[in-house]
Structures are given as C-alpha cells and as structure tokens.
Structure 1
Amino acid sequence: MLLHPNFGSFSVLLMFKWNGHRFEHTQIFQNFETIRLSDSKTRVEAIACDGEMADVTFIVANINGDMHVFKLTSAGAMELLLKVPDDVNNMRGQAVSAALFGGKLFIFFGVHGCGFRWEKNRLIVVDVQNKTAQAVQIPGDFSDGPRCGFTGAHARGVHANEWIHVGGSEQVGMTGSKFCAFAWKLGELPENPEWKLVAENLPEGELAIVNGTVYSLTKEGTFKITA
C-alpha cells in the first residue's frame, strides 16, 4: 500500500507491505524527487497495475496532463520509468487501468469530452525493459468489447495471458447509467489483444476475480463464473 499526496504534487509518503497477517511499514530507500503540479489544487490520479513481476509493481500517474510510469520495488525503491510521449498519448488520455504481460505494461485510458469516457479499443503499451511506449488499436468496432464507459470495469484481474474485465456502468441518456451485466476478457496477450465475451446477464453485486474465476456476491447468494 503506497501513500502519496492527492493534490499539488506527486511524491512518496509511506509504503506498507502485507505480510499475511498485518501491514508492515517499508522504508523508501531511494530518494524519490517530488514532481510538482502546475496548480496546487489539481488532483493527482494514480493507479497500480494488475499482474506480477518478481518484487516489482508499476504505478501509472497523470501529472500535469502527462502519463508517467513509475517502477516500485518491494524494498521501497521507486523510480520514474518514463513519461509517455505526446505522440503516443495523442488523445491526452488519463490511465484508468493497467496490467503486465510478458514484460509489457498494457494501459487503458479515458478521455475528457462530454464527461469522461473509457477508450476500450485503444491501449498504450509500455516495454518496461526498453522503456519505450507505443499506441495499439484493438481490432473491432464500438460493439466489440465491454459496453461500460466512464472509468471502465468495476473489477479486473489477470489470469494466464488474459485480462478479465467484469461489470461497470453503462451510460443511459445524457446523465443516467445502469449496471453493465457482462464479463469480458482481453485475450491473446501480449501479442494480439482481442476482446472475447465470457458471460452476460451477470447479477449485480460485489465483484471479485480469483485465479480466473469471477464471483458476484449478492443478497441472494454468491454466483460464480469461470472465465
């Protein structure tokens, strides 16, 4: 668990590591330089990636309108891996989810327009070894892939070479929304990302994904779907 300021700057305050019983404080050994925002009232949006690399995770933060990728080790060292170039993030997208596959970080983003909209068929892919980024288009039209908008799925999880996305909010009219009762997975990763429908008519509830199995906890009981 990483604590950082919400407004005005991006810096590391504290990090805690779960040992199976409780959270333990981990010292930040590397002198991580604070990144100041142009406005002290501007909020920093940061997400942690799904998926694992031994003793490492990746943080994606939107800072001063730019997408920054940070590398964080379990020992508490943190470094800026790269700032995504403007020609790659040419829509000025803000990261909403990220997952690691085969040494590549797949980042979904949303854009501001009439509200905030998740771009479900566009990815930014970062090679974490070479520190490079490229824009990737997922094949298909608007009807292919999850129908949920805003910040995307309510629950996400990595299993084998697939990224599972479940639930979400689907826009209705100009201001309304409804539960998006679908489960999808982005398969063929890392080489050929493609949306595949897993299930529909999913009961609305508290969602969780464990080892590729989707759980929905409702008042009527717990429902299970194997992705």
Structure 2
Amino acid sequence: MSMTEEWDAASVRDLHDDLVSLHGPVERTSDHGADASADPGEGVRQLVTTILSQNVADENTRRASEALFTAYSDFAAIESADHDELADTIRVAGLPDQKAARIQRALAAIREETGGAYSLAFLDAMPTDEAKGWLTDIKGVGPKTASVVLNFHFGKPTMAVDTHVERVSKRFGLVTESATNKRAHDELDAIIPDELTYPLHVLLITHGREFCSARSPDCANPVCERYCSCEEC
C-alpha cells in the first residue's frame, strides 16, 4: 500500500489478513473480553495491574502484582495503606512512589464513583469514549492503561497503543509520524473496525517483536514489503 494512500476500514482489514497469513489468527483468551459482570472486582484488579505494568517488563509486573495482592487482603486495604509501605511492596515494578500514588488515586476514584464498592462495572454501560474519559481523568491513568482495561476486560473497541503498536503503526502509515501517543490512540480508533481492535493489537505487537523491531528490523517478510516505510525496507 502506498504511504500516500488513505487508510480506511477495507485496507485495515487487508492488513489484518496479511498479518494473519504471516503470524496466524488471534483468538481472545477466556479472560479477555469476558462477561464484565462475572467478577465485579476483576476490572479493578486489571486496572491496578496495568498501572504496575507501565514502563516495566512483564516479569516484574507479575512479581509486583503477586507481592501486592499477597500483602493486602482487599482493595480497601491497598487504598488505605501507608504510602511508603505500599511503594516498597511494589518496588520491583519501578517508579514505586508514582505507581503507589496512582493506584491509591484510582481506587479512591472508583470507591467515590460507586458509593463504596470497588467495581468498574459501571463502565460497561458507558459509550467507549465516555468510559475512556472517566478513566483518564484519574491522574496517572493514560490512554494506553484505559484502553487495556476497556478492551481486554469489557471488550470495548479501543486500541491500546504500546511501543510496538505505535512504532509499527507509524512505519505502516496508519498513524501520523509526528503523532503523540494520545494522538496515536485517537487515529487508530478512528480507522480500525471494532471487531479488529483486539486481534490487530495482538498482531501488531507480534509483528513489532518478531520483525519490525526498533533496531535492526527484519524486513524480509511480505507484510513489511507491502506496508512498511522504515529505512530498512
């Protein structure tokens, strides 16, 4: 596809099909997009875990999450915990002071919104943009964190743009090269068909890790040959 062409739903579907041909189809696992009412606290747990995952490797996120939910009996205990103690508990995730504050602000916002419950179930009935706006109004919760929760837990059509998705999307011309991460979220949400939001998220990450890496990309594949504009192609 020429980089001067406009992307539309049909061309995004072509990209999805080409990525599937290279990487295989994507299916939601049982905990992605499941019934949001089945466990009201699960969305909150995912929000907290996603805050922990900001700018850190998956293994350290897992360790920090395990330490957090072992040390505290419930969300109320986490919200009311001593800040320094909480920061020390999640230190392995990096930026412990900032993440402790973000987690406690998020839990306070949820409790205040629901009148005492730690549940994000109210987001399910909101339009996607309104639900994202509610989450990103919490200081420290950006569009990526909000989109992870809304798409993975509630199945809402909003793309979570991590470094891989942003890099590949810019190289493919899906997103303006100069776009901020927030702008990248808006541009992708505007062109990606709702049903492709989750699988394309996974496929772009896979392609970014396996071929279209930040350094020394391997462009000898049909997807890069067709879509990519990086210097190696």
Asked if these proteins are the same fold (TM beyond 0.5), I'd say no
Which of the pair is proportionally richer in strand?
1
**Relative contact order (C-alpha < 8 Å, sep 6+): which is higher?**
2
TM-score, with normalisation over the residues of structure 2? 0.29
* TM-score where L is the length of structure 1: 0.29
